[in-house]
Amino acid sequence: MKRAELFQASKDKYDNFEFKKLIQGMSAPEKIYCSSETLYRHTIDNYADTTFHIYYTKRLNGPDLQRLKNDWMQFCPR
């Protein structure tokens, strides 16, 4: 069974994604609420033993989602 890990994404001053690990043992709901923001789940399932759920303030698709995935691969290349 695959392990799930949750991260929160934000953008730095250069418009690149940065990632911060969320609490271990959380489930991976479609969206979570953090302070006054809603964070939406984006799943990266390119790894044999782990599924990564990345939460961001917008629902991403197309080129924006690909950029998130590219930045993630630099952060966590495995």
The pTM is what?
0.88
Every domain of the chain and the residues it spans = 3-75
Q: Compute the mean pLDDT over every residue in the chain, rounded to the nearest whole number.
A: 90
Percent of the chain residues topping a pLDDT of 70: 94
pLDDT at 54 over 90: yes
DSSP string for 7-70: EEEEE-TTS-EEEEE--TT----SEEEETTEEEEEEEE--SSSEEEEEEESS---HHHHHHHHH
Q: If you average pLDDT over residues 14-29, what whole number do you get?
A: 86
